Amino acid sequence: MAVRAFYDELAPLYHLIYEDWDASVARQGAALAALIRERWGSGARVVLDGAVGIGTQALGLLAGGFQVTGSDLSYPAVQRARVEATRRGLRLPCLVADFRALAARSSSVDVVLLADNALPHVESEADVATALAECWRCARAGGGCLVSVRDHGPPRPAGTVEVRPYGERFWDGRRYHLRQIWTWRGPRYDLALEITVATPDRVQVLETSYLALAPDRVAALMRAAGFEDVQRVDGRFFQPVLLGTRPH
């Protein structure tokens, strides 16, 4: 399943990944706002969320007074992000674009955001480098890029299978069970997201794959793209965060 198709199909149920999506929106928005202020100052308010999804990070930032534009390769995800913003009385302009070719003017934003391990959801390190070059292009001098990625540790032996349950969710009168199944193959792992609806009994399986890029490697690629003072921050977000500044 192509990456776009994965997120197209996931969009209506994406919030079920979180035990309490609204609480996650608020928590992640507050965490990202604090990181942006500490790194780039209180004047850094214009954010391009290059992997906006259904708005999990963007909505929290908007509620905190940031000016956010969302971008994603999935049209259904972008449409839902718009609806969720409107429901909260917020305005979230959105674009449909791959983060390797962002539809934004050069030097037009304070911060480009790629959160929740979006960056390694590509085929190669060359794709990651292309995406980071786009982030560099869109950020103003003195602004920068904020990326969050998983820290997998060393890749597992090929064929290793890991099961990661989310648990039970209740929504719209139905009970759901969600889990991820990772199958490792060298520097990548295939991911199957199983969404089981208890009544009626039905299983939807969405499949995709990721590069298992270590945060240190992502930091090196950020430096190669031109970002300076690249820093890893742990314990402030649910994943390691990497911040880099576009120099003047």
Cβ atoms of residues 218 and 147 within 8 Å: yes
Residue 1: band (very low, low, confident or very high) from pLDDT cuts 50, 70, 90: low
Looking at the fold, whether 118 and 205 belong to one and the same domain comes out as no
Looking at the fold, whether 120 and 169 belong to one and the same domain comes out as no
194-216 pLDDT per residue, tens: 999 987 678 899 999 999 999 99
Looking at the fold, whether 102 and 64 belong to one and the same domain comes out as yes
Which residue shows structure tokens 């954010």? 47
Looking at the fold, whether 194 and 171 belong to one and the same domain comes out as yes
Report how many domains make up the chain.
2
Looking at the fold, whether 55 and 10 belong to one and the same domain comes out as yes
Q: 220 in a domain, yes or no? A: yes
So what's the pLDDT on residue 4?
95
Give CA separation, 93 vs 115, 128, 175, in Å.
18, 25, 33
What mean pLDDT do residues 120-137 have? 97
Looking at the fold, whether 146 and 177 belong to one and the same domain comes out as no
The reported pTM is 0.96
Q: 190 in a domain, yes or no? A: yes
Q: What is the CATH number of the domain that holds 91?
A: 3.40.50.150
Cβ atoms of residues 203 and 196 within 8 Å: yes
Looking at the fold, whether 46 and 66 belong to one and the same domain comes out as yes
Tokens of 39: 């790194």
Q: What is the CATH number of the domain that holds 167?
A: 2.20.25
What mean pLDDT do residues 215-239 have? 98
So what's the pLDDT on residue 181?
98
Looking at the fold, whether 126 and 8 belong to one and the same domain comes out as yes
Q: Over the chain, what is the mean pLDDT? A: 96
Q: Which residues constitute the domain of residue 184?
A: 161-210
Distance CA 63, CA 69 (A): 13
Give CA separation, 238 vs 128, 148, 156, in Å.
21, 9, 22
So what's the pLDDT on residue 200?
66
What mean pLDDT do residues 179-189 have? 96
Looking at the fold, whether 118 and 218 belong to one and the same domain comes out as yes
